Amino acid sequence: MLIIKRKEAIHQGLVKYYTGKSCKYGHKAERFISSFACIECVKFRQASSHYRDINLSIRTKNKDSKKIYDKSYRANHTQEQKISKLAHVIKRRVSKLNRTPAWVDSEELWLIKEVYALAALRTKMFGFSWHVDHIVPLQGKLVSGLHTIANLQVIPASQNVQKSNTWSTN
């Protein structure tokens, strides 16, 4: 198996990495980037009958109370969540419009749409999520960028979430 460090795997947008070292239980296997967990350990935990039995008993015991809770929660919070999400989406859309300069022509707008299409295509092809990232964020604390083709890049979602609303010159 090819040795790849966690940072390299993150940079490549992978889900797993391999160090060649054993976990504390002696497994020489790949590890998940998100949890550092050994894949063999995770498989063992999920396959153990004790783990399955506990989950099954909890799920069946709480099934009715969970249904009642879910129904009341949806009734009380769904509309609020929709409004909150809509407000966030509108704010983001207005921000993009305000950060799109007047000199951006229809060809550049078409290229911007193609960048978003590329992110969707990569997500479909690679099986993990890709985002369109503004290199210089639209609403940065130190500096704010423009919504132009030169300020866009397609990167794995994990990197974009990690980057958040920051800007680095790397």
pTM: 0.48
Calculate helix-pair angle for 49-61, 39-47, nearest 10 degrees: 60
The pLDDT tens digits for 4-59 are: 888 988 888 889 999 999 988 889 999 998 888 999 888 887 776 555 666 666 66
Structural domain spans, the chain = 6-58, 62-98, 102-170
Residue pair 112/149 in contact (Cβ under 8 Å)? The answer is yes
17, containing H or E segment: strand 16-17
The pLDDT tens digits for 119-169 are: 999 999 999 999 999 999 888 778 888 999 999 999 999 998 888 878 776
Helix, strand, coil tally for the chain in percent (to 5) = 55, 10, 35
| Cα 109 from Cα 106, distance rounded (Å) | 5
